[in-house]
Amino acid sequence: MIELRQLTKTYGDGAHRTTVLDRLDLTVGDREIAAVIGPSGAGKSTLAACVNLLEPPTSGTVVVNGRELSRLDQRSLRDARRQIGTIFQSDGLLARRTAAENVELPLRYLGVTRADRRRRVAELLDRVGLAARSGYYPHQLSGGQRQRVGIARALALRPRVLLSDEATSGLDPEATASVVRLLKELRDDLGLAILFITHEMETVLEIADSVAHLDAGRIVEQGAVVDLLRDPSSALGRALLPRRAHGATRGGAPWSVSYASASVPADWIARAGAALGVDVALLGASIGAVDGHVVGHATIALPPGTDAARLVAVLGDLGLHAAPSAAPADAAREPGTIGRELEPVA
Ligand SMILES: Nc1ncnc2c1ncn2[C@@H]1O[C@H](COP(=O)(O)OP(=O)(O)O)[C@@H](O)[C@H]1O
Ligand SMILES: [Mg+2]
């Protein structure tokens, strides 16, 4: 478990003082993957450095597994740091050592006996799906495999907490998927609290239970991923699952509909049509499951003259949030949306 309270980090002083992290509150529970997303320069790596106390916070507290790290003496701090495994964008493996030797390094430093090291390394490489690659050198492994060796090494001292700073950035989609799958297994099997830092929104949707949006050192929005996706007013929710503009159909006014509850029936379109006594046309949708929760949004069209207030009420009863869709003319101006290719139909 990681608890950050009012964590603040400034560099420099006087006129050169800059606040890189500004009073952050963030909790990562055991068995939770909390993503921190933000653009380059937002302060993400500084946050990672403050959590393992490579950088001392200027003010605020960092509590890891119930221990306040900022209060520990050097010796206890070294101990506490062993409870935190860290992985970075660069796997940081030693090029002249095999996968097994790289994983073994932290155990050697701790003076673990040879037999115990051997057993533990085999166990760790098996854990990350690389038992058959133990004798390979880093250059003989793919990017995703190297990153998994890095994860095995980070797990060598049995940490309860894992920090990941852009660990999937720069990996191809398949390698990213293998790392994401592994981190979720580690969350579930070992109960790790994982702080997953990234600038890639798609990966957040794949991996995270909760997410905080860091911008210029401030958390501007945070919450459980499912809650954000179900909240039509959430900018972060919309960024996680971008809405596409779907052009209007003949005569029908388009409406944007989003899943706002856990109990939306699969046949909601038919039910809404029956309740309203009209045909509901589906123009487009992005609907998916996040950890078994159905989330998403759709664009529908209704015949002219449909009672808007009744529509909102009927869909509301079905667990959906409805609002008139952006005018197709606006959507068409937005680059990269399919609205661009569609001519409004008279
Ligand atoms: N040691 C340092 N001294 C001064 N400024 C720093 C230092 N480290 C980072 N910064 C500044 O802090 C800001 C956030 O950097 P960083 O945490 O690396 O962002 P991110 O990882 O989100 O890209 C940047 O503006 C960077 O220049
Ligand atoms: Mg960074």
Is beta strand 84-88 parallel, antiparallel or unpaired with respect to 161-165? parallel
Task: Name residues whose C-beta falls within 8 Å of residue 145's C-beta, 6 or more positions apart in sequence.
Answer: 130, 133, 175
Task: Name residues whose C-beta falls within 8 Å of residue 287's C-beta, 6 or more positions apart in sequence.
Answer: 259, 294, 295, 296, 297, 298
> Tell me, what's the pLDDT at 330?
41
The CA 131 to ligand 2 mean position distance, Å, reads 31
State which ligand 1 atom lies nearest to the alpha carbon of 43: 17
State which ligand 1 atom lies nearest to the alpha carbon of 47: 17
The CA 35 to ligand 2 mean position distance, Å, reads 13
> Tell me, what's the pLDDT at 294?
84
pTM: 0.84
- Surrounding ion ligand 2 within 5 Å at CB are 44-45
Q: Are 21 and 43 spatial neighbours (Cβ–Cβ below 8 Å)?
A: yes
Tokens of 273: 């049509």
The CA 314 to ligand 1 mean position distance, Å, reads 50
> Tell me, what's the pLDDT at 249?
56
Segments in the chain below pLDDT 50:
328-346
Q: For residue 109, which amino acid is it?
A: Y
Under DSSP, the state recorded for 37 is E
Q: For residue 58, give the ligand nearest its CA.
A: 1
Give the closest residue (by CA) to ligand 1 atom 8.
Answer: 46
State which ligand 1 atom lies nearest to the alpha carbon of 166: 21
Give the closest residue (by CA) to ligand 1 atom 25.
Answer: 41
Residues with CB under 6 A from ligand 1: 11, 20, 38, 40-46
Q: Are 299 and 255 spatial neighbours (Cβ–Cβ below 8 Å)?
A: yes
Give the closest residue (by CA) to ligand 1 atom 7.
Answer: 11
Domains, the chain: 2-223 (3.40.50.300), 243-340 (3.30.70.260)
Q: For residue 19, give the ligand nearest its CA.
A: 1
C-alpha 74/C-alpha 243 separation (Å) is: 50
